[in-house]
Structures are given as structure tokens and as C-alpha cells.
Structure 1
Amino acid sequence: MIVGTAGHIDHGKTALVKALTGVDADRLKEEKARGITIDLGYAYSDLGDGRQLGFVDVPGHERFVHNMLAGATGIDAALLIVSAAEGIKPQTVEHLQIVDLLGLDRGIVALTKADLADDDLLLERMAEIEALLEPTSLRGAEIMPVSAITGRGIDELKAGLLALGESGKGVTGFARLAVDRCFVLSGAGVVVTGTVHAGEIRVDDRLLLTPSGLEARVRSLHAQNRAAEIGRAGERCALNLAGPRLSKDAVRRGDWVVSPELHAPTDRLDVRLKLLASEEQPLKHWSPAHVHLGSAHVMGRVALLEGERLAPGETAMAQLVLDEKVGALAGDRVILRDPSALRTIGGASVIDPFGPPRNRRAPRRLAELAALGEPDPVALDRLLSLDSGFVETARFGLTRNLRPVDVAALLEAADGTSLDGYGFHAATMAAARQDIVDTLKAHHEARPDTPGLQPERLRLALARRWPVPVFKALIDQEVGAKTVLVDGPFLRLRGHSLKLGSRDEALWQKIAAELDRDRYRPPRVRDFASTHGVPEPEMRKLLQRLAKVGRVVEVAPDQYFLRPVVAEMIGIAHAFGREFTAAEFRDKLDNGRKVAIQILEFFDRHGITVRRGDLRRTVPQKLQQFGPTAPEAAAAAAT
């Protein structure tokens, strides 16, 4: 377990840590000279029975609260220190506020310098402290008089800290360590230290630094000040890292060392924000603030999502828009300080680390945030029940540091099913599938003379309007099950086909024969109209309908080719195997320069060919737009 000290300057934090561990946590020359803690100090108490307490000694001076916060966000329990001689002071209050905002509910109050106070004063101080703790997360915490000079209460304090229990940080997720120090060790290289917030880190693991994305391999590590092969959640670790671009200057306090799966820097955090009751003025929308998360410290603005002002003591949804990207996950605690960094103004719990830049106040988004604010199983179930009807399983797992197997188990427990990275309630999935069938069936009945619906029109016609990627996954499922068939650019139910009237069907058979006969130089609309004695507008309308179902392709105005012939001509162009001229293409088709140019311009518009001056070349990725090119047949035709 990691214990963090908290309290006013010169109330004896460092001396008490030394009495508990035998280690002087003040490591800087400036600290020795001035007699105060400036930066974070660390010490460990080996109890000889396999148990060990780690201590983070934080500065008590108001000027170094940012350093205090870098250490406080990784601790499991708080050791609030109050001098029996001086009592409660400003930094006692602010540090307690920070402990409360971090949600720490395990802790002990050490009433230090007990050798300087009589029993009556000690009782008076204890009463004052109880009143101070009452509205906070440390309400009811034990208060122990101690003296680092005489040793009074030290053993009892150590036993009390052990009784608080081990770290509650989980080891099931991916690895995540908040960097609070970085230095170069002679003969070893770059070393970073910090608290492991989740998962396990092993020697030879390949990790990433967030937000920079630098690669790092763990050459060796120390956990709780001992050489080890594994560092686990809840332990302080020192990692000796190596990487192609890694250097001391490339790493800074506030970075995270994470498994590659967790590398997702962000600058928009949707949070549940609490403004301290001690604030004199409401917090306005878009107020600037110092933002502390993990060991990071960045500037940002508070975008309120439920009104324009937040009253002191109140809680509301907000989005923190940061000036720099950070690493963050759901459940992380954030501390806010005023723009001048003179006082703590509030705190927050991250609900969604990847907040949207638009529609962040929309009722649909607020409902989603309300669901995300619940524990894992409840959150997933509530998300699946929202109007959206689905969850991106990978994103849900990332925001909460859940492995895919854990997300799958949660989805199963919620009576859900998975499809191409999306989760649905089983009932929602069944309804979606039936909706697709019913909508297509209704269209077929109303418009039997059409082949079906284009995908986007079908999506917009459904009872529930799915986002495009989700709709595609649903349609791919139906196509795979052969419930829905793809007919050119249209989707239709099995058994449905375009029904032409007997007159139109007979006319189409004649036209198709002529298009096949003159495959590379087909007649135009007016030619068909004249040949078959049909008004030109009527003939044009018929060919347009046939083009919609993919039987023919309008290559130029009123110039239609059979779809397989278009694919064949693409194959002929590709068979050159090099850049070619319009004249060369014309000669292969033997259809005249004007028609050859129209065909090539059609290819250009669809990205099938790329033109450079008088030369063109085919684009391999675009060859299948109108069906298989049948390269063997095309090569034969080309020769």
C-alpha cells in the first residue's frame, strides 16, 4: 500500500516518515538547506513479514501544492498530519480538500509533536480535527497523537496504517504507470519512477509513453524499492527503460508508461465536477483552470454541460478542454486550481476521457454520460438500452481499461451480442434484423418495378437510424446470412427481382441483344427509339431504370453499355501493363476515336484511369468497380 502524507508546512511530515521508515525523504540540497520539503520524497518500511508500506512525502508549502498533487493522485491511503502545537492551518485544510476530492476514504490523522502539548491541548486539537473531517471522505478516521522525537505512538501508527488494508488498485487491466520522476543512472540509462495504477509491468515488456508515443522496453525494474521481475498495481516502481528515441529530455512528469493498448492521448475529458463549498463565487462556463490528473499538470478550460454557472458545493457534468494532450481513463480523479494557482477550487472524476467537440450538451449525450458514470456492468447495460442501441466495444474497453475478454463477459451478462466491434442487446439485434427485412419488403410491395433500395436510402428508411458503420455491419450480417442480396448498387430481399411489364421486357430483350452485338460501339438512345418505334423519352426512361439495377451503364449522355462489357473494357485497358494513348485503346476496341475518348473520360471520372498529358494508366485498386475484369478474356481481346 502507498501512503501519502498531507498537511501544513513544518508540521512534521518528513520527520514522521523518517520515524516510521528510518529514511529521510528530503533528498534535495535545497530541502536540506531550507528545512522544508520542496519536491516529492519516497520512503519504504519493511515489516519483515513480507509486508511493506510505501510513503510519498509531499510538500506542505502552498507554493508547492502542484508537487503535492503529483504524488497524491497515486496513493491508496492518506496520512493527514496536524501539529499538536499549532493545530489546523491553511494547508491542512487545502490538503484535506484534495484528499476528499480524490475520493480517498482510507486514512489516519497523526497529531504530531505530541511531546509539546499537554493532555488538555491534545483533546482540544482532536475535537477540532474531528469537526474538520466530518464533511469529508475521511470522516471518522482515527486520530493518533505521535512524537517523532520521543517515539510516542509510532508503533501504534504503523499498526493502524497496516490495518487499513492493501492497495485496492486492480491488476486485471493493461499496465499503466504515472511518471513523477525521470533521471539517468550511470551504467543503466533512463530511469522513470511512479505508481502503477493498473495491471502489471514485467521485465522485457514493450510499452509506450503517453502522450508522446515513444517506444520503451523495460530493461529492469524495482518495485517498492526492491529489485523485481514484476511491478503490480498499487506499487511504486522504478523502471529502467530503453528505446530508439528515448532520453531523459523526452520524458517528463505527467507522462504515463502504458501497454500499447492504452496509448490514446486526449485533450477533452467529460467529467462529473464538484465545486468546493468554500468558493465565494460560482464557476462560470469556459472558466480557465489549472488541471491536475495523475502526475500531469496542464492548463485548460471548464465547459459546463448543464447550465452556465456551477454554484459552490454543487456537482454537475462538464467537459475539460485541455491545452495539451494527456493520458486519461474513466475513473481517474482530477483536481482543479484557480488560474493563478493560489487555491484548489474543485475536483472531478473522469466519465469519458474522449469527449466529443460537438453536441456535448445534447440530451442524447448527457444520457450517455449518465450511463457511463455507473459501474462497469450497469454502465454497459444502460448504454445498450439508450436510443442509440449499440456500444463500440473496443472504445468501451479502452475508456475503462478492460481487456476484450472482460468486455465480452460484461456483454454476455447484459444479455448482449457482438457484431463487428459493436455490442447490442439481443432483443435490439433481433429488432434491427427484422426492421431491415420489413422495410425492404414494404418497398418491394410498393415499388415492384424497382430492384430494391440503395444502402443509404434503406438506412434512412429504417425505424431506428443507425450510424453508417453500424448499419454496414448489420447489412453485412444479412448479406452473409443471404437474407438480403446485393444487386448492383441495390439491396433486395431474396426472391425479389425487377419486374418489367411484358412490353418493356420484350423491348429490353431486343435492346440487350443489340448491346451485346455492338458491345464496344453500341447504338445511342435515339437509335434504339427509332429502330423500335418508341418515343425517345420513353426509351430513355427505360434505360435509366435498367441502369439503376446495374444491367447497363451510362458511359456518356444517352450512350449505354452492358455492365459486363464495361468490366471487360477495363480489363483491356489494364492489359496494356503500361501507360497507353487513346489511339492505342481505340485500336483495341475498333470503335472510333470519339467513343474511345468518351469511355476513357468515364474511366477518368471513376478513378479507374489516371491521365498524364496524352497518356493514361489504370489504377489496380479500382478495377473491380463494375464487376470482374476477366483478365484472361481481356488479354485475349487485346491481342
Structure 2
Amino acid sequence: MQVIATAGHVDHGKSTLVRALTGMEPDRLEEERRRGLTIELGYAWTSLPSGEQVAFVDVPGHERFLATTLAGVGPVPAALFVVAADEGWMPQSEEHLVALEALGVRHGVLAVTRADLADPGPAREEALARLRRGPLAGAEAVAVSGRTGAGLPALAAALDRLVAALPPPDPDAPVRLWVDRAFTVRGSGTVLTGTLPAGRIAVGDTLLLDGEEVRVRGLQSLKRDVTQAVGVARVAVNVRGSGAAAQAARGAALTSPGAWARTAALDVRLVPAARADPASVPSRLVAHIGSAAVPCSLRPLGAPGPQGERHARLRLDRELPLHVGDVLLLRDPGRARGDTAAGRVRVLFAATALDVRPAPLPRRRGAARARGEELAKAAEPGAGPLLRAHGFLSAADLRAMGVPAPGEPVAGGWHADPALWRALPARLAEAARAYAAAHPLDPGMPVEAARRALGLPDRRLVPALVRPPLALDGGRITLGGAPGLPPRVAEAVRRLHAELAPFEAPEAGTLAALGLGPREVAAAVRAGALLRLGGGVVLLPGADERAAAVLRRLPQPFTVSQARQALHTTRRVAVPLLEHLDARGLTRRLSEVLRQCPEVAGGAMPSGLPPPPRSAAWRSPPGSGTRP
């Protein structure tokens, strides 16, 4: 199926033509049929000679209903442009054509209707001359009378050729259905209708309606129940699930989750519409895309280019689901009635979205101009300009923006601007050195601190930037070489070495008197200047190796008390020291009471001893004291 908008300035003749082609009444309202004036969007469909089905969205031609007209033509790929033989090209014809051209519609057929009332030749030539100046230059022209049926077979054949020439839509594209009607059916709930330009909708799908989750409970296409619809198609979707469904109206959007960026701010490239006079651009406009019409404000970014093109930031009054590359029409809502008749169109710009998640502009002079220059450098919207502007974008960000990912992510699903990524390892090294100088007692720069210092969006990016002499150890970035100690701490450790016996542990008060608090002791341990055991016990470095050498000379196996006496130390030191030796494999627990050095007697262990206990916690023998 294809969907075609019928546009032009004649109302009665246009609707009559659709009625003659399809056998259906496109004017749904009694007032429309009474006045011969299209007020609301009308829908009709038929089969062409080839068997291809085509649906028509009949849009109003009167200047007062331009917003409704734009809602109808917004989502469609082609147009049946209607001009009356007895009136020729009219101001409303120009405005409709300007809208189609700005939206990028490149396929169409010209129908010169009311050929029974006047010679269609002059109107045909006049209309074709105008079409040749724009993207619809290749449109076929057919003279036709909706009243008598003359020319209808030729028009159907021309429409068949038009449909065959349309580019095939992507059935796997993300869904974005702009709602042009919303109503409630008793017993079924909310029904949303619209033109599905690409992708597929199936019964049971979970979609988002203006950002809120809904479920598809029923689906029709051309009033026939279907289990799925593939674009291009006219569809009616019965949804349930959120409060948004009950409040839905024209301009709402039904979208695939995660596939569109919902935004109220975007940076755009503005191209003046044909016959528009954008010399004085109002600060408040109406942005049209799909069936949505949203008031917005416009902030210029830099000066206009040689062809009148310029860049701007739009701030919409409500969020819309957008992709980079989407085209919005900007209309001046303040133009007085009669402007169209005077030859002034109300569609001022076609605005192409270049960034749908722009960063806030800095509060400094020249920031807007600099952003405009940055946007002007991008020949086409894409990942490269976006990454230069943002630095980093996740794969999910790019998908929501509708931009193909530029190769593989650098780390953690993130894509980076190549120039920025190349510079970051050197910046990380500088940050690590600065952190070490400011925090000499810390074991290294925490990954989170590095993330903040470099302005990274995710800490998973930090490990990918670590290069020698930096190293990543335990969630901290360390500098190469043995860590040094500040002079004050080094002097305190030297004094401690001079005062301690080999297996003597200083009390907390002694350490504090020397200026060795927990952070200083931790730094000394990392530097290899002290050995820390469990329970806050601190010994001289190498005390464990010396203790193992002493214990090897004891009769094997031995008890804690025997080890304590051999080492001339206290139980406060002996217990954590033996646990440390167990962990290093320098001693081995044989039972609740006994240990042995594995290397004694060539490594042979005494036979007939019970296996080591499962618990690693030391339990003293009954009646043992806590001091020697």
C-alpha cells in the first residue's frame, strides 16, 4: 500500500476527484458536504489497475486550515496536486506546494480538475511551469473531471506509475506513527489513526505514546482487522495501558521504545521556504512535523549564509520524538488573513535537525556564534559532528538520535570523538600526577576521581585510557615505580625502626605520638616500610620472613605459646603473625592447637595428625591468657 496526500487550493473539485477515484466520501463532516469545503482531514482508498492499493489523505485547501493541511501531508511520501482548470494557479496552491517542497516530497502527480468547465491547457502549463522550479519537476500532468469521469483511467495509470517509482520503505525501521485522529470505542478503548511511513506494528507490541508505555490490543488497516501492518500504510491502532491513551489527540506520536530522542530543544539548519521573506524572523513560531503543531521559540546561532541559510536553536513548548535529519516546517502564526492572497506564504523555513540533544550554551559572549560556526562545518548530519560537539555518545544515544554508530565503541558501549580520545591518556597521566602531589598518602587516584577530572560520562571509560607508566590496581590509578613517602612520614618511620625490636608491635599511642595515623601507616605499608597484620598490629618489614626462619628451628609441630616464646613477643603479636604466616604458606595449621613449618624435614609432614580445621579463625586453648 502507498499513501498519497491530495493537496491544492480547490475544495469541492478536489473532494469530488477523490470520490470519483475511490467511490468513497472523503468529507466526513456534514458541514463539509453542505458547504463544499474541506475542513477536516478526509480518508479514502482504492485499488489501482496494477492491483496496488493506494490510500488518500484529503487535506483542506482554505488558508484558515493550513495547520490541518500540514498535519495531513506531514507523514506521506507523495502528493496528488490538484489545480482547477477554471481557476488556474492560486495563492493557496503556492502555499501548499511550498509546504510539500519544504517537507522534501519528491514524488507527485498533477491533476487539472474541472476539465469539463474550462480548457485545462492553460492551467496545466501554468502549474507545470511552477512545479519545474522545485523537486516535483518530474510530475506527470493529467486533465480530469471528477463530475463526468473524463480522464480518470489516465489518472489511475499515472498514479500506478507514481507508486511504482516510490522508494521502498524499510520494514525494520523504528515505528513513529503520528496520530491524526484519536477516539474512543465503547468496549475497546482508545483508537489512534495515522499514516505509518515505515517499520511494522503488530498486535501485542509494546510501544510508547508520547513517552508512556502502551500495548497494542487491536489493529486495522483500511478498516480490515490485521495482526500486523507494515509501512507505508494507513492504520488504526487500538491501545491500552497509560493515562496518555485517554488524553491522546492529533499530534501525539506512537513510537518504538528507545528508538527516538524525546526532546524539547534542538539545533537546526534553516533554509528559507520558497517565496518566504525571513528577513525579520519572529521569536515565536509554530513547528510542524508529522501531525504535530507545537509553538516554539527560535534563537539564531550566528549570521545567515549567502543563500539565506542559517542555524538556530529551537525550544519547543513540549517534547517530540525526533531523529537527526528530521525536517520541521516553521510557520509564522501571526500573519494576518489575506497574506496568502497577497503572495506571502506563512511557511518561513524548513528546519533540518542537526542535534536533538544539544548541550546548554555557555553563558559567555559569542557562544551562540561559535555554536553556529560549529554547525556550519557539518556538511551532513551524522555521528562525526555529534561526537565533536558532545565528546561521548553511547550506542543507545546514537540509536535514539537515528544516527548509525561509527564503528566499534571505545569502551563500555560508548563512542568517542577520535581527536578527544587520542588526547585523553596524556590528560589522565597529568591528572594522576597532580592527584599524587595533592594526596601523597593515598595509594593512587580513584577511578571516580579520574572520571570527574576528565569530564567523562562513565567510569568504565577510565581503564581504557590507562597507559604505562600508569597502572590500575584495586580501583585506583597508580604511577609507575615504588611509591615514595612524604619527608615527614619517612622520618617518623625511620624513628620507629630505630626503636622497635624485631617482633615488637608499637601501641596506637606510640604511633600517634610519632605522627603516624591510619593514613600515614597505610602509606608506609604500601611503600614497604612497615608490615601490617590483622587487629591493627604493625611490625617492621620482613618480620614475617624472620619469624618463619625462627620457627623452623623449633621441634615440629609447635603451639602458639611455643612460637610466642621463641619469638620473644606477646600473644597480641603472635596470633595475627601466625595467621599471616599461614596465609603465606610459611606455616600450616594442623589442628586447633598445632602448627608446622612445611619445609622442615624436607617438606615431609608428620603422619597420623588430624587435618587442618575448616575455620581460619584462631581459637586459644582453654585457660590460655591474652598476655605472656
Give the TM-score taking structure 1 as reference length. Answer: 0.70
Q: Residue 392 of structure 1 aligns with which residue?
A: 394
Alpha-carbon separation, structure 2, partners of 1:427 and 1:512: 56
Closer, same or farther: CA 186–469 of 1 in aligned 2, 3 Å: closer
Closer, same or farther: CA 43–392 of 1 in aligned 2, 3 Å: same
Closer, same or farther: CA 268–442 of 1 in aligned 2, 3 Å: closer
- The secondary structure found in structure 1 opposite 2:460 is helix
Q: Residue 63 of structure 1 aligns with which residue?
A: 64
Alpha-carbon separation, structure 1, partners of 2:499 and 2:40: 87
Is the CA contact (8 Å cut-off) linking 2:285 and 2:330 kept in structure 1?
Answer: yes
Q: Residue 582 of structure 1 aligns with which residue?
A: none
Task: After superposing the two structures, state which structure 1 stretch, 353-362 or 10-19, moved more.
Answer: 353-362
Closer, same or farther: CA 550–500 of 1 in aligned 2, 3 Å: closer
Query: 1:334 aligned to 2:324?
Result: no
Alignment partner of 2:142 out of 137, 144, 148: 144
Query: 1:318 aligned to 2:312?
Result: yes
TM-fit CA distance, 1:125: 2.0
The within-5 A match list for 1:375-454 is 379-381=382-384, 383=386, 386=388, 390-400=392-402, 407=404, 410-412=405-407, 416-424=408-416, 432-433=424-425, 436=428, 452-453=444-445
TM-fit CA distance, 1:517: 4.9
The residue type equivalent to 1:163 in the other structure is R
Alpha-carbon separation, structure 2, partners of 1:370 and 1:550: 57
Alignment partner of 1:301 out of 297, 306, 323: 297
Task: After superposing the two structures, state which structure 1 stretch, 424-433 or 171-180, moved more.
Answer: 424-433
- The secondary structure found in structure 2 opposite 1:419 is coil
- The secondary structure found in structure 1 opposite 2:310 is strand
Alpha-carbon separation, structure 2, partners of 1:427 and 1:351: 21
The residue type equivalent to 1:468 in the other structure is L
The residue type equivalent to 2:394 in the other structure is E
Closer, same or farther: CA 244–380 of 1 in aligned 2, 3 Å: closer
Alignment partner of 1:289 out of 285, 293, 302: 285
Give CA deviations for 1:391-411 in whole Å, capped at 9, x if unaligned.
4332121011x6xxxx4xx43
TM-fit CA distance, 1:64: 0.9
The within-5 A match list for 1:159-178 is 159-164=157-162, 165-166=165-166, 168-178=168-178
**Cα RMSD for the two superposed structures:** 4.1
The residue type equivalent to 2:132 in the other structure is E
Give CA deviations for 1:551-574 in whole Å, capped at 9, x if unaligned.
79xxxxxxxxx99989xxxxxxxx
Alpha-carbon separation, structure 1, partners of 2:435 and 2:415: 29
TM-fit CA distance, 1:191: 0.9
TM-fit CA distance, 1:46: 2.0
Q: Residue 533 of structure 1 aligns with which residue?
A: none
Alpha-carbon separation, structure 2, partners of 1:512 and 1:197: 83
Q: Residue 602 of structure 2 aligns with which residue?
A: none
Alignment partner of 2:483 out of 497, 513, 516: 497
Alpha-carbon separation, structure 1, partners of 2:219 and 2:517: 73
Give CA deviations for 1:278-308 in whole Å, capped at 9, x if unaligned.
3446134x6111221211112111111123x
Q: Residue 587 of structure 2 aligns with which residue?
A: none
Is the CA contact (8 Å cut-off) linking 2:301 and 2:369 kept in structure 1?
Answer: no
Closer, same or farther: CA 487–183 of 1 in aligned 2, 3 Å: closer
The residue type equivalent to 1:322 in the other structure is L
Closer, same or farther: CA 311–450 of 1 in aligned 2, 3 Å: closer
- The secondary structure found in structure 1 opposite 2:322 is coil
Is the CA contact (8 Å cut-off) linking 2:41 and 2:72 kept in structure 1?
Answer: yes
Give CA deviations for 1:240-291 in whole Å, capped at 9, x if unaligned.
112253654x11111111122246532112211123353446134x611122
The within-5 A match list for 1:88-237 is 88-118=89-119, 122-164=120-162, 165-166=165-166, 168-210=168-210, 213-237=211-235
- The secondary structure found in structure 2 opposite 1:3 is strand
Alignment partner of 1:260 out of 249, 257, 260: 257
- The secondary structure found in structure 1 opposite 2:361 is coil
TM-fit CA distance, 1:468: 2.8
Task: After superposing the two structures, state which structure 1 stretch, 262-271 or 103-112, moved more.
Answer: 262-271
- The secondary structure found in structure 2 opposite 1:139 is coil
The residue type equivalent to 1:476 in the other structure is P
- The secondary structure found in structure 2 opposite 1:80 is strand
Closer, same or farther: CA 564–184 of 1 in aligned 2, 3 Å: farther
Query: 1:477 aligned to 2:477?
Result: no
Of structures 1 and 2, the larger Rg is shown by: 2
The within-5 A match list for 1:4-43 is 4-10=5-11, 12-43=13-44
Closer, same or farther: CA 40–505 of 1 in aligned 2, 3 Å: same
TM-fit CA distance, 1:199: 2.0
The residue type equivalent to 2:289 in the other structure is L
Closer, same or farther: CA 383–333 of 1 in aligned 2, 3 Å: closer
The residue type equivalent to 2:456 in the other structure is V
- The secondary structure found in structure 2 opposite 1:114 is coil
- The secondary structure found in structure 2 opposite 1:219 is strand
Give CA deviations for 1:531-561 in whole Å, capped at 9, x if unaligned.
xxxxxxxx5xx86983895979xxxxxxxxx
Alpha-carbon separation, structure 1, partners of 2:524 and 2:174: 50
* Bigger proportion of residues as helix: 1
Is the CA contact (8 Å cut-off) linking 2:272 and 2:348 kept in structure 1?
Answer: yes
Alpha-carbon separation, structure 2, partners of 1:445 and 1:84: 85
The within-5 A match list for 1:604-623 is none
TM-fit CA distance, 1:161: 2.0
The within-5 A match list for 1:599-638 is none
Closer, same or farther: CA 518–329 of 1 in aligned 2, 3 Å: same
Is the CA contact (8 Å cut-off) linking 1:453 and 1:491 kept in structure 2?
Answer: yes
Is the CA contact (8 Å cut-off) linking 1:417 and 1:425 kept in structure 2?
Answer: no
Aligned length: 516
The within-5 A match list for 1:236-247 is 236-243=234-241, 245=243, 247=245
The residue type equivalent to 1:214 in the other structure is E
TM-fit CA distance, 1:383: 4.7
The residue type equivalent to 1:469 in the other structure is P
Query: 1:356 aligned to 2:330?
Result: no
Closer, same or farther: CA 373–222 of 1 in aligned 2, 3 Å: farther
Is the CA contact (8 Å cut-off) linking 1:282 and 1:312 kept in structure 2?
Answer: no
Q: Structure 1: 5+ residue runs without aligned partners?
A: 529-538, 553-561, 567-631
Percent of residue pairs bearing the same amino acid type: 35
Task: After superposing the two structures, state which structure 1 stretch, 352-361 or 49-58, moved more.
Answer: 352-361
Alpha-carbon separation, structure 1, partners of 2:72 and 2:135: 19
Closer, same or farther: CA 455–496 of 1 in aligned 2, 3 Å: farther
